[in-house]
Structure 1
Amino acid sequence: MSLEREAIRILRANDRGGFTIPTAGLYPFQWLWDAGFSALGWMKFDEARAWQEFERLFEGQWANGMLPHIVFHRPEATYFPGPDRWGTRHTPPTSGITQPPVVASFVRMMLEQAEDQTLAQTKARALYPKILAYHRWFKRERDPANTGLTNTFHPWETGADNSPAWDEALARVPVDPTLPPYTRRDTSHVDPSQRPHQAEYDRYLSLLEVYKRCDYDQLRLHRECPFRVVSLIIDCVLHRANRDLAWLSARFGFGDETEIAGWLEASQGAIEALWDEEAGLYYNYDRVQDAPIRVGTSASFLPLYAGTSSPQRAHRLVRTLESWAEQVRYLVPSTDPGHPSYEPQRYWRGPVWAIMNYLIAQGFAEYGYPEAAERIHQDTLKLAELSGFSEYYHPTTGAGLGGGEFSWTAAMALWWEVSPWAH
C-alpha cells in the first residue's frame, strides 16, 4: 500500500464524527494542535471534512476565548486524566490548559490551497472571530505585562511534555501531599521506556491541582503557579499565527491589523532576545529563575518558522543542524544529541516528530535553505516508509515509537508530500 493510501486509511479510521483522535486507546479524544495537523491531512482528500475538524475543536472554546488542549466530546475509559480530574465545568467537557496555537496559520494555508474556494472562504471567515478571541486571551491573560512572551504554566501546554528543557523547573514543583490516587493509562498502551517517568507524572498532576485551586484564573497562576516558563514552541507558533491572523483580517476586511501588529512588534524582539550566540541556538526561558534554559531542543529552530530570526542567525542554525546531523541518522531529534539529557527513545527527550520536522523545514525553506528543508522532508518520509505512521521515531535506528497509526504523522505525509512549502 502506498504511503498516501495508508495515510488516508488512518485518518478515516481515527475519525470520530467530525473530529480526529490522534490514535485509538492511547489518545481517544480531540487534541488542539493534533486537530490542526489532522485538518491539513484531510484537506488533501476531503476539504469539507478538513474544515469540520476546526468547527468541532471550537466547540470546546471557553467564554474567555481560551481554546483547551483536549475536548472530551464523548466518554472514553482508556485515557487519564479525563474530564472528572480536570473539573472545568465546561460543556462539552474540556481540559483546562491550552497547546501550541497553530490554528490561524493552518486556516490560512488551507484557504490558500483550497480547490473549493467558496467553501474555504465561508469557513475561514466564520472561524476568524473565534481565533481572534483565542489570541486575545493569550495576550490578555498570558502576557499581561506586555513582555512579548507568554507564560506557560504546565509542560503539557508546550506540546513537548517531558522535554529536558523542563527538568529543572518541574523538579521545583512540590508533589501535592493530598494528590488523589491515580492509575496511568499511557503505559498500558506504550512501553514505559518511551514515556515520561512516574515522578514527572506526579508533578504534572500536582500542577493540575494548582490550576484547580486557582479556579483556572490565569492572573492568579502568574502569582501562584510554581512552574512558569517561556516555551519556544508556544511563542514561535503564536508569532507566526499572529502574522497569519493579520493576513486573514486584511483578507476579509475585519480591520484588526493594528491591534495584531502591536502584538507582533512586542514578540519580535522578545523572541530574538532568547538567542544564545555562543551556542548558535535559541533557548527556552525559566521565568521563576529569570534565566535561559540551556538545553538545545528541536524548538530551538522555530524562530525561523516564526520569521523573527535574522539571516545571520538563520545561517548559524543551519550549522547547528548540521552538527546534530553528524550524531544521528534522521533529523530532527527533539533534544540536542550531544546533551547529557538526550534519550533517543523517550517521548520528547530525543525522538524525531514529523510535525516538528514540518515546522522546522518550513522555516529553513523560507530563509533560503531549501537543502536543509528537503533533508528534513526526506528523512520524515523515510521514517514513515521504514516504520509506518508512528507517533515519533528513534533518530538513529528509525524505529517507530509511541502510539501507532498516528493521525498527525499520517496527515503530514499527505500535506507535505503534495505541497512541500505552504506559503
Structure 2
Amino acid sequence: MDRTAQLIARPAEYAVAYDPAGPPGPPHFGAPAPGTPHLAALHRRAANVLAGNWTGTSTVPSPGLYPHQWSWDSAFIAIGLRHVSPRRAQTELETLLDAQWGDGRIPHIVFNPSVPLDAYFPSPDFWRSSTAGRAAGAPRTVQTSGIVQPPVHALAAWLVHCADPGLSRARGFLTRVYPRLAAWHRYLLHRRDLGGGGLVSVVHPWEQGMDNAPSWDAPLSRVAPAPARSFRRADLDHGAPEDRPTDLDYGRYVRLATEYRDGGYRDGGVRDAGNHDGRVQDGGHRDHRVQDGGYRDGRVQDGWDEDGLTQDGGYRAGRVQDGGHRDHRVQDGGYRDGRVQDGWDEDGLTQDGGYRAGRVQDGGHRDHRVQDGGYRDGRVQDGWDEDGRKRDGGHEDGPGAGGHGAGGAEFAVEDPAFNALLIASEHALARIAFELGATGTARHARAERLTAALVERLWDPAEGMFFCRDLRGGDPDPGRRPLTGALVPERGVSGLVPLLLPGLPREVATALVRTLRGPHFGLGTTTRLAPSYDLLGEAFDPHRYWRGPAWFNTSWLLERGLRLHGDQAGADALRRAVLDIADTSDFAEYVDPYTGEACGATGFSWTAALTLDLLHDDTTSGTGVMAGPGIPAGTDITALKGGDRG
C-alpha cells in the first residue's frame, strides 16, 4: 500500500461499549425489577437536577458542597446532558477547556468568582494559580486549582458530538476542542510518566478522584500533615463528618498541595527528556518511534502530528492543500468569502501564533507574557519555552530531578482507573481525528500500547484485579530513576475500571468479572452497585466517601465494561440498579453499598447525568428517541424535558 493510501484508509473498527459499532436498536433490559419507577418521570427529575445546577456556562456538582466547576464531573455531566441539550453539553466542555493551562493540563477546579472564598476549601487564594502557576502557563483571566483529574474529556467530547453531529459540525465543536484535548493527553504522557514505564502518575489523591481510598493510606503515611489550625474545612458545613475524609487525611492533602504550589506546579519527570536508561533524548518518544517531530520510519515528519493533521490544519494525504479546509471553505489561509485572509486562520489566529485583534504580535503569548521565545521579565530566554522547559525537553531549574516541591517528590502513584480512562479517551480522540479527516490509527496504536503497559505494571493475576503502584514505596533508593515502587495490596474499585477497555486480554477481562462478582465486591449477590472498596477489607466503611460506599460514575463505567465483554445480563442488572437507586436516593452523591442509603449530597449532577445516559437505548444517537421499561419505544425526549434541544 502506498503512503497516500495508508493515510486515508479507514482504520480498523474498535467495537467499544461506549461507542457501539452496530446500528442502533432497542436495548435488552430484561424484566423490570420490582418497584422500578416510571422512567419518564425519572428522566424529568434527572433533567431538572441538571437545570437547577446549571450556572449559565457550566454545571456545579452540588450547589452547597461543590459550588464551582470540577473537571471529571463536567465530563460525566456532558455525557448525560447531551441527551437533553447537546448545545449545553458542548458549552460544558468548552468552558472547562477555556481554563486549560499553557502546558496542556486541565485543572481539576475552575473557580466561579461570584462564589465567596469561604464557601469552599481550598479556595482560589490557596491555589494562587495565576502567580504560582505562571511558569506552567496558568490562565490570567480565570482562577483554577493546579492539579488535575482523570482524563474522561475526549470520551465525553466524542459522545457529545455523536448526540447531534449536525450541530457539532455547524459550530466547529470538534475542530476547536481537538487540539486542546491532544495537548491535554501530551501533558499527561510526557510530563507524568514518572515511573518510566509508559503509565501516567498522579501526584495527589485528589487527582485520581477517589480522595480517601485505602490505596492511598500507605503512600500518604510518608506525608507530614499540615497543622489543623492552618486551614478550615468548608465541606463539613454541608456533609456529615462520618461520611467525609478525616482531618488527618485533609492535613496530608493540604501539605501535598501546598508543596506542589510552592514549587510552581512543576512535575517531577525525568530531566532533559531522557530516562536514565537513555531511551528518550531530545524530544524522542520513549518507544523510539518519534524523533525531531516525526516517526523514525519516516511516516510523520516536519510538523505533521500523529493523526496526519498538519499544524496549519491541512492533511498529509493531499485532500487538503494550501491551508484549505476539507470542505473547501478555506483557501490560502482565508475564507473564500473574504472574511479571513492573508495568513489568518478560521478562528482568528495568525499563522505565526498572533491574534488578529493585534493583542499578540511576533510570536507573543496572548496574555503578553511571552515575547521572542522568553518571558518579558527576562526569566526565560534563548531557547527556553514559556513553561520553563528547554526546547530539548529539560527544565531550567531541573525539576526532573524530583526536588522539593516538584509533583511526585513525595507522592507518585500509577492508578489503574486514571490510566484506563486515558486509554478510553485515546480511542475516542482517534475517532475525533477520523471525523476531522485523519486516520486516527496512531492513537488507536498508542491506546493498545498503554493497555499493554497497564497489564504489565498493574495487573496481579493471583488476585484477579489491577492494583495501584506506589512509585515511592518499596524502593531502597526512592531518588533513583526510573522509579519502580511496589503494588499497593488494597482492593478498590479503581482496579476494576479497566474492564471498560476493548483491548484487554480475554483472561484479564474474565478474571475482572469474576472478582467483581466475588466476595470482595459482591455485585449481584450482596450488593447491587459495586462498592468502592473491598467488602472484606479492614478499612471498609459503608458510609465514608471512597472507603466503601458505591458511586454512580464507577457503576456507569462497569456497566459499559460488562456489556463490552459480553455479560449482557450482568450489565442489564447493573443498569436497572443504577436507575432504581438513583431514584430512591434522590440522585445521591454516593450510597451505602448494602442498603442504598443516600450519603453525601443529594441532587448530585453526575448521578443525574449518568441516569439520563442509561435511560437512552442508543448512546450515540442524536435523534432524541429512547425506549425502555416504562417508556414506549419512540418517545420524544424533547417533550419530557420541556424545552428545545439547544
TM-score by length of 2: 0.63
Q: Distance in 1 between the 2:471 and 2:503 partners?
A: 21
Q: Distance in 1 between the 2:43 and 2:170 partners?
A: 23
Q: Distance in 1 between the 2:610 and 2:186 partners?
A: 29
CA contact (8 A) 2:448 2:503 kept: no
Q: Give the residue type in structure 2 aligned to 1:49.
A: R
CA contact (8 A) 1:41 1:412 kept: yes
Deviations 1:320-354 (A, max 9, x none): 11112266332210001111111111101111111
Q: Distance in 2 between the 1:312 and 1:120 partners?
A: 44
1:87 and 2:128 aligned: yes
Q: Give the residue type in structure 1 aligned to 2:613.
A: W
1:325 and 2:522 aligned: yes
1:380 and 2:380 aligned: no
1:216 and 2:269 aligned: no
Match among 569, 584, 589 for residue 371 of structure 1: 569
**For residue 419 of structure 2, what is the aligned residue in structure 1?**
235
**For residue 501 of structure 2, what is the aligned residue in structure 1?**
306
Q: Distance in 2 between the 1:34 and 1:329 partners?
A: 25
* Range with greater deviation from structure 2 (363-372 or 16-25): 363-372
Q: Distance in 2 between the 1:144 and 1:276 partners?
A: 21
Distance 1:339 1:422, change over 3 A: farther
**For residue 510 of structure 2, what is the aligned residue in structure 1?**
315
Cα drift, residue 421 of structure 1: 5.8
Cα drift, residue 6 of structure 1: 0.8
The structure with the largest helix share of the pair is: 1
1:131 and 2:181 aligned: yes
TM-score by length of 1: 0.94
Cα drift, residue 221 of structure 1: 7.7
Q: Residue 138 of structure 1: SS of its match in structure 2?
A: helix
Q: Distance in 2 between the 1:93 and 1:102 partners?
A: 22
Q: Residue 347 of structure 1: SS of its match in structure 2?
A: coil
Q: What are the equivalent positions in structure 2 for 1:188-267 lying under 5 Å apart?
A: 188-219=237-268, 220=399, 223-224=402-403, 225-254=409-438, 257-258=441-442, 260-261=443-444, 263-267=446-450
CA contact (8 A) 1:318 1:372 kept: no
Q: Residue 218 of structure 1: SS of its match in structure 2?
A: coil
CA contact (8 A) 1:33 1:102 kept: yes
Q: Give the residue type in structure 2 aligned to 1:148.
A: G
Cα drift, residue 121 of structure 1: 7.0
Q: Distance in 2 between the 1:236 and 1:367 partners?
A: 15
Q: Distance in 1 between the 2:159 and 2:494 partners?
A: 21
CA contact (8 A) 2:417 2:497 kept: yes
Q: Give the residue type in structure 2 aligned to 1:230.
A: E
Q: Give the residue type in structure 1 aligned to 2:104.
A: G
1:22 and 2:61 aligned: yes
CA contact (8 A) 2:161 2:168 kept: no
Q: Distance in 2 between the 1:201 and 1:119 partners?
A: 44
Cα drift, residue 385 of structure 1: 2.2
CA contact (8 A) 2:464 2:508 kept: yes
Cα drift, residue 393 of structure 1: 0.7
Q: Residue 129 of structure 2: SS of its match in structure 1?
A: coil
What is the number of equivalent residue pairs in this alignment? Answer: 421
Q: What are the equivalent positions in structure 2 for 1:23-62 lying under 5 Å apart?
A: 23-62=62-101
Cα drift, residue 295 of structure 1: 1.1
Cα drift, residue 73 of structure 1: 2.9
Distance 1:257 1:130, change over 3 A: farther
Cα drift, residue 30 of structure 1: 0.3
CA contact (8 A) 1:231 1:285 kept: yes
CA contact (8 A) 1:154 1:207 kept: yes
Q: Distance in 2 between the 1:343 and 1:270 partners?
A: 32
Q: Distance in 1 between the 2:143 and 2:580 partners?
A: 38
* Range with greater deviation from structure 2 (45-54 or 307-316): 307-316
Cα drift, residue 191 of structure 1: 0.3
Cα drift, residue 95 of structure 1: 0.3
* Structure 1: segments with no counterpart, 5+ residues: none
**For residue 349 of structure 1, what is the aligned residue in structure 2?**
547
Cα drift, residue 256 of structure 1: 6.4
Q: Distance in 2 between the 1:380 and 1:371 partners?
A: 14
CA contact (8 A) 2:195 2:201 kept: no
Q: Give the residue type in structure 1 aligned to 2:451.
A: Q
**For residue 10 of structure 2, what is the aligned residue in structure 1?**
none
Q: Distance in 1 between the 2:66 and 2:540 partners?
A: 25
* Structure 2: segments with no counterpart, 5+ residues: 1-39, 131-138, 269-398, 404-408, 474-484, 622-646
**For residue 159 of structure 2, what is the aligned residue in structure 1?**
109
Q: Distance in 2 between the 1:12 and 1:112 partners?
A: 22
Q: Residue 63 of structure 1: SS of its match in structure 2?
A: coil
**For residue 205 of structure 2, what is the aligned residue in structure 1?**
155
CA contact (8 A) 1:146 1:266 kept: no
Q: Residue 130 of structure 1: SS of its match in structure 2?
A: helix
* Range with greater deviation from structure 2 (319-328 or 19-28): 319-328
CA contact (8 A) 1:362 1:373 kept: yes
**For residue 115 of structure 2, what is the aligned residue in structure 1?**
76
Cα drift, residue 162 of structure 1: 0.5
Q: Give the residue type in structure 1 aligned to 2:149.
A: Q
Q: Distance in 2 between the 1:293 and 1:107 partners?
A: 33
CA contact (8 A) 1:330 1:352 kept: no
**For residue 288 of structure 1, what is the aligned residue in structure 2?**
472
Q: Distance in 1 between the 2:264 and 2:168 partners?
A: 42
Cα drift, residue 420 of structure 1: 6.8
Match among 409, 433, 451 for residue 268 of structure 1: 451
Deviations 1:85-116 (A, max 9, x none): 01111330000000011011111122223264
Q: Residue 101 of structure 1: SS of its match in structure 2?
A: coil
Cα drift, residue 306 of structure 1: 2.6
Q: Distance in 1 between the 2:189 and 2:516 partners?
A: 32
Distance 1:291 1:411, change over 3 A: same
Cα drift, residue 223 of structure 1: 1.6
Q: Distance in 1 between the 2:488 and 2:619 partners?
A: 31
Q: Distance in 1 between the 2:218 and 2:619 partners?
A: 36
**For residue 41 of structure 2, what is the aligned residue in structure 1?**
2
Q: Give the % identical residues.
A: 33
Distance 1:39 1:223, change over 3 A: same
Q: Residue 53 of structure 1: SS of its match in structure 2?
A: helix
Q: Residue 469 of structure 2: SS of its match in structure 1?
A: strand
Decide which structure has the larger Cα Rg and report it.
2
Q: Residue 546 of structure 2: SS of its match in structure 1?
A: helix
Q: Give the residue type in structure 2 aligned to 1:271.
A: L
Q: Distance in 1 between the 2:173 and 2:96 partners?
A: 14
CA contact (8 A) 1:38 1:407 kept: yes
Q: Distance in 2 between the 1:399 and 1:292 partners?
A: 33
